[in-house]
Amino acid sequence: MNNFLPIAYLQSKFIPFAEANVSIATHALHYGTAAFGGLRGIPDPQDPKTILLFRLDRHCQRLSQSAKLLNFEIPAVTIQEIIVDFVKKNQPNKSFYMRPLVYTSDLGIAPRLHNIDKDFALYGIELGDYLPPEGVKCRISSWQRQSDISFPLRGKISGAYITSSLAKTEAVNSGFDEAILMNSQGKVSEASGMNIFIVRHGKIITPGFDQDILEGITRESVITIAQDLGIEVIERPVDKSELLIADEVFLTGTAAKVVPVKQVESYQLPTPGIITNKLKDILTAITENREPKYQDWVFPIKLSDN
C-alpha cells in the first residue's frame, strides 16, 4: 500500500493529497507534456525533528531547466521555497520521496507548448529501498533509448518514460529486476530510471552525456566522491560486452541510490564489489549528514514541535 504524505501542492495552494486531482482532459495526461523531479528526504538520525534533503538546489535547478523545454519559466528558487514549505507542512517522520511536477494544465486537445496554461504540483510518498540493496539482475532491453535529436533528453520529460516503462516491464516479465537500454549507436546508455557505471581494473567507467543519458544528480555526486577518493573516472561510450566482463557494475539514481548489479543476461557478476560498496557507504553517510566535507550537499529543515 502506498503511504502518501497527507498534504500536496496544486494550483498554487497546499491541499489534502486526496483532493489534489486534475481533469481527465488535462493536456499533459494525453501528450506527456510534463517534466518531473524526484528527491529524497530522511529524518536526521541524530535529530528526528530535522529533515535532511539531498542536493535540493541541484534538483530545483534541473527541474527549472526541464521546464524551459516545455516553454515554461519557473525559477529554481521558487521550486525550492515550495518544497521547503511542503516538508514543514507534512511533518514526515520516515524516509520519503518527493515528486515535483511541471505540466501543461490546459484542457485543450492540440499538441503544443505555446499559448497553453502550465502549473506546478508536488506530492510525496514514504519510500524505503526502491531496488533490492543486495543487487539486481538486469537484461538488455529490446527497446532503444531515445536520441537527443528527436527528444530533449537534457530534461526529465515525462513523455520519455514510456520507453522506460516498456523496458522495465519487459525485464520483470522475463525474470529480471531491471533493464539496460542501448542507444541508437548500439552503446550502453542507462537503465530504466538510473545511470549505469562499470568498474574495470580499479577504474570507474560510465557513459557520458553524448550517449543519450539523463544528467543524473546522484551520478554527478558519485563521480565527485570517487574522484575525491583518488579513483579515476572515465566518461566514454561503453560496449555491451564490457558489461559482461566488468569487475563491478552498479546503478545510481535518487530512488535507487547506489545498487550493485549481480547479473547481466546470463552472466554472473562479482558482488559485493569493493568500490561499489565504498561509494554506497559514503553516499549514505553524506545523506545522513555524517560527512562534513559534503555538508553543503545536505539541506536541513527544522520541523516545528507542534
Active site residues: 156
Mapping DSSP to helix (H, G, I), strand (E, B) and coil, where does residue 194 land? Answer: coil
Residue 31: DSSP 8-state? H
Can you tell me which residue has the cell 495552494?
13
Angle (deg, nearest 10), helices 217-228 and 274-287: 110
In this structure, the chain runs to a length of 306
Query: How many whole angstroms separate alpha carbon 35 and alpha carbon 212?
Result: 17
Could you count the other beta carbons within 10 Å of the beta carbon of residue 285?
Answer: 12
Query: How many whole angstroms separate alpha carbon 139 and alpha carbon 180?
Result: 6
Could you count the other beta carbons within 10 Å of the beta carbon of residue 230?
Answer: 6
Among candidate residues 99, 102, 108, 110, the one with its CA nearest the CA of residue 41: 99
When computed from its CA atoms, the radius of gyration of the chain, rounded to whole angstroms, is 19
C-alpha dist (Å) from residue 60 to 54, 227, 269, 286, 288: 11, 25, 36, 19, 20
| CB contact burial 237-268 (16+ within 10 A = b; e otherwise) | bbeeeebeebbbbbbbbbbbbbbbbbbbeeee
Query: How many whole angstroms separate alpha carbon 124 and alpha carbon 38?
Result: 9
**298-302 and 267-268 beta bridge pairing:** unpaired
Give residues with Cβ within 8 angstroms of 231, minimum separation 6. Answer: 202, 203, 204, 275
